[in-house]
Amino acid sequence: MSGFSSRDFAGDAGGRRADLDWLRVGAFGLLILFHVALAYAPYDWHMQSTHRFRWLEGALLLSSPWRLTLLFLVSGAALRFMTRRRTASQVFSARMERLLPPLVFGTLVLVPPQSFIEARDKGYWSGDFLHWWLSEFSPAGIADSVPVNHLWFLVFLVAYTLAVVPLMARPDVAGRLADGLERALRGWGILWVPIAYLILIRLTLYPWFGLTNRLTGDWYNHAQSLGAFLFGYLLVGRESVWASLEKVRRVSLALAVVASVVMIAQAVHPGGGAFWGVPRNAAYGATQWLVIATLLGYASRYLRSANTPLLTYLTNAVFPCYLAHQTILVIAVWLIAPYRLPAGVEAAILIGVTLGGSLLVYEVVRRIPLLRPIWGLKPSDTPARFARRRALLRFGIAAPALAAGFTVSAALAYPDFDHARQYLSELGGPTAANPLIFNTGVLAAAVLAGLAGLGLGLSVLALTGARILGLLTAVVFLLAGAGLGAAALYPWPDPRHLAINLALGIQLAPLLLLFGLRGRSDLKALRLFLAIVFAAMAVLTVITKHLVFPGLVNETNVGWWERAYAVVLVGWVGVAAFLLERRLRAEAPRGGGAQASATIG
């Protein structure tokens, strides 16, 4: 194993540090607020509100010097924890398995919508998303560099892990480096040595290289970020360092407040760049470490044992939320900004949508084993029995939420849409401002419908052995998926759009499931629900086809009737899939072994 010396982790038998996990969670929560603020700041960002506030320049500077540096430090510490019971090759393999799939997935799927919206908003692209994506990943587009946007942090983590591999392979060398740093940081050295280093690189490297967040040529960024990463990796197990941080925490807090005020004053004052910018850069470097030292000291003092269920949940949610949040935010700004809402209302909506949407993504992907690796989560410990059926059912659980999300987004992007008079399909038609939103949602729902149908059919087979009814259930959903897919690819008024009528066959699915599950007395609630759903769809069909109560459905309210029908038609699938997944889980209890936390670090 890759141990350093007997002084590392002295008296600490645990595999994590709750204080560092709290700092990671807090820093990523702050990141969401930081990115929302960028939509209002006087800078050029991917997509911005119609509101601008000059004072945000100073407010954003409060966290800019230290937030990401702290995250790199914590990530280095997390890597060191991984070496306690693994060899260098095992640590490297585990790290790459956690970082590379999300990086590739994010680059191909999560970042392109951000780039597309930015290109459309700034006027250098007028085509559709598909052609934008093909252009970005064509040979010419790749040669011109593929944007990774907020995923640059993952790129740097991969590079820094590679850089630390020699230290993992030579723990004796790492131990000597840690010994030297530990000696240098004794007493007040815990403050002045890192401050001197950060000021030095700010004065010498920053004027030449700036800060680009690109792996090549970003030498100032590497000097501070890799330096922090190595600090965490080498010193997380040295208790004397943490004791010093705790001891000076009050002094570092007072100095951090003073340094922050000076830094902001110099940044916003017209004369702040005097004397070749030396005072301003010195204040920046001092603030950077003083805030980090304060946070580390107080967290070590009061949060080391604060390992609560909430922390476990948030620690696991960090990576998926980090991956999803900026894409959700950029799309939200794009949809909401044209309404010119009051700044406070708009900002509150953006924060709620970004945070809530990110947590929703986490709640969905953590339940689907096939999606966990590309969202940075460890494989689940779901037992082999019923694992595939349960995974397919989770697609059915996600389908209604996804369909609703895309529909609401498409409606927001179509300000003149009349919900009372217009059909939902018109959100994807030629009169819509952004038909791609609705049609993408329909296509995604088509895929999920097919997968959910397979899950429902296989679940009937597993629970009752009803082969024919299980097969018919799956076939009905597969036909519905084909109809929805055709409707998405050929928007109305293309006559091929009428293939969507195949989706109406899903009305038979509740009846098929009802008969398929009739022998299960423990599923009475589900069978009652299926009966009610089938009856509701029958009634709505009779009314909307004008077979009874002629005139009740007319051109002034047809839209609302269609909405009610769509809610029943789609929503019941999520409820049925959830109840069946829970039944299968009860019949296939989990094996032993707790899941380790899933984090970026």
**DSSP track, 227-275:** HHHHHHHHHTTBHHHHHHHHHTHHHHHHHHHHHHHHHHHHHHSTTTTTG
Contact 311, 22 (CB under 8 A): yes
Q: What burial class does residue 290 get, using C-beta atoms within 10 Å of its C-beta: 0-12 exposed, 13-18 middle, 19+ buried?
A: buried
| pLDDT number for residue 596 | 39
Instruction: Kindly tell me if the per-residue pLDDT of 436 is higher than 90.
Output: no
- Asked whether residue 372 carries a pLDDT value surpassing 70, the answer given is yes
What's the pLDDT at 26? Answer: 95
The pLDDT of residue 600? 60
The C-alpha atoms of residue 356 and residue 349 are separated, in whole angstroms, by 10
Q: Kindly state whether residues 304 and 392 are assigned to the same domain.
A: no
pLDDT top residue among 498 and 36: 36
Averaged pLDDT, 147-162: 95
Domain boundary among 310, 331, 365: 310
CB contact at 8 A, 114 and 149: yes
pLDDT on residue 461: 87
pLDDT at site 546:
75
Measure the CA–CA gap between 29 and 266, rounded to whole angstroms.
Answer: 27
pLDDT exceeds cutoff 60 at 171: yes
Do residues 333 and 47 lie in contact, with contact meaning Cβ atoms separated by under 8 Å?
A: yes
Residues 299 and 420 in one domain: no
Same domain, 75 and 186: yes
Position 136 scores a pLDDT of: 87
> Looking at the predicted structure, is the pLDDT value of residue 321 above 90?
yes
The verdict on residue 549 lying in a domain is yes
Provide mean pLDDT across the span 70-83: 94
One domain, residues 407 and 281? no
| Rounded (10°) angle between helices 249-268 and 189-204 | 20
- Inter-CA distances, 261 with 168, 206, 244, 266, 569, Å: 40, 21, 25, 9, 58
pLDDT at 19 over 90: yes
338 in a structural domain: no
Q: Per the structure block, which two tokens stand in for 427? A: 């959100």
The pLDDT mean for the chain works out to: 87
Residue 271: its pLDDT value, please?
67
Axis crossing angle, helix 558-587 with helix 435-464, rounded to the nearest 10: 40
- Per the domain annotation, does 348 fall within a domain? no
Average pLDDT over residues 291-319: 95
- 142-145 long-range CB contacts below 8 Å, 24 or more apart? none
Residue that has been written with the tokens 């590392």 in this structure: 8
Domain boundary among 310, 341, 357: 310
Q: How much is the pLDDT for 14?
A: 53
Structure tokens at 584: 């299968």
Q: What percent of the chain has pLDDT over 70?
A: 93
Q: Contact at 8 Å (CB) between 155 and 107? A: no
73 beta partners:
none
Q: Is 596 exposed, middle or buried (0-12, 13-18, 19+ CB in 10 A)?
A: exposed
Q: Is residue 217 part of a domain?
A: yes
Residue 193 counted as domain residue: yes
Domain boundary among 244, 279, 310: 310
- The separation between CA 197 and the C-alpha centre of its own chain, rounded to angstroms, equals 34
pLDDT given for residue 6 in this prediction: 52
Question: What are the Cα distances from residue 258, in Å, to 60, 112, 255?
Answer: 17, 42, 5
The owner of tokens 């349960």 is: 390
pLDDT confidence band for 597 (50 / 70 / 90): very low
Cα-atom radius of gyration of the chain, to the nearest Å?
Answer: 28
Rounded Cα distance between 474 and 480, Å, is 10
pLDDT, position 15? 61
Residue of 511, 503, 532, 522 lying closest to 580 (CA atoms) = 522
Q: Is the domain of 202 the same as that of 83? A: yes
Shared domain check, 262 and 121:
yes
Q: Residue 388: pLDDT above 60?
A: yes
Structure tokens at 576: 């049925």
- 124/120 Cα distance (integer angstroms): 6
Tell me the mean pLDDT in the region 297-326. Answer: 94
Candidate ranges 4-13, 63-72, 258-267, 533-542; pick with highest mean pLDDT: 63-72
Q: Higher-confidence residue: 390 or 306?
A: 306
Q: Is residue 243 part of a domain?
A: yes
- Are 394 and 302 contained in the same domain? no
Question: Both 287 and 429 in a single domain?
Answer: no
Is the pLDDT at 569 greater than 80, yes or no? yes
Domain span at residue 136 reads: 18-310
Q: Which one-letter DSSP state was computed for residue 379?
A: P
The burial of 243, by beta-carbon neighbours within 10 Å (0-12 exposed, 13-18 middle, 19 or more buried), is given as: middle
Q: What is the C-alpha to C-alpha distance for residues 86 and 587, in angstroms, rounded to an integer?
A: 35
> Which range among 54-63, 101-110, 178-187, 544-553 shows the weakest confidence by mean pLDDT?
544-553
**Predicted local distance difference test score (pLDDT) of residue 270:** 66
The answer on pLDDT for 438 being more than 60 is: yes
Question: Which pLDDT tens digit goes with each residue over 187-240?
Answer: 999 999 999 999 999 999 999 999 999 999 999 999 999 999 999 999 999 999
Do residues 275 and 423 both lie within one domain?
A: no
According to the per-residue pLDDT averaged within each range, which of 255-259, 458-462, 531-535 is highest?
A: 255-259
Q: Which of 17, 146, 170, 25 is nearest to 88 (CA)?
A: 170
- Give me the pLDDT at residue 565, please: 85
Q: Provide the number of structural domains found in the chain.
A: 2
Judge if 190 and 73 occupy the same domain. Answer: yes
Mean pLDDT, residues 165-184 taken together: 92
In the predicted model, is pLDDT for residue 1 greater than 60?
A: no
Which class for 96: exposed (0-12), middle (13-18), buried (19 or more C-beta within 10 A)? middle
What's the pLDDT at 11? 43
380, part of any domain: no
Residue 592 maps to a domain:
no
Given this model, what pLDDT does residue 187 score?
A: 92
What does the pLDDT average to over 377-386? 66
The pLDDT assigned to 589 comes to 56
> Which of helix, strand or coil describes residue 329?
helix
Q: Classify burial at 534, counting beta carbons within 10 Å of its beta carbon; exposed 0-12, middle 13-18, buried 19 or more.
A: buried
The dihedral region occupied by 433, where left means phi > 0, alpha psi between -120 and 50, and beta the remainder, is alpha
In sign, the C-alpha dihedral spanning 78, 32, 283, 292 is: negative
pLDDT at position 183: 95
Question: What pLDDT, on the 0 to 100 scale, is given for residue 594?
Answer: 37
Asked which of 41-45, 500-504, 555-559, 592-596 is least confident by mean pLDDT, the reply is 592-596
What's residue 370's pLDDT?
75
Residue 9 is predicted with a pLDDT of 62
Is the per-residue pLDDT at 572 higher than 70? yes
Q: Do 422 and 431 meet the contact criterion of CB atoms below 8 Å apart?
A: no
Nearest to 382 by CA among 367, 365, 396: 367
> How far is the C-alpha of 214 from the C-alpha of 156, rounded, in Å?
9
- Whole-angstrom Cα distance, residue 21 to residue 17? 6
CA distance 534 to 542: 12
User: Cα separation of 488 and 446, whole Å?
Assistant: 9
Task: Give the up-direction half-sphere exposure of residue 318: CA atoms within 13 A in the CB hemisphere.
Answer: 24
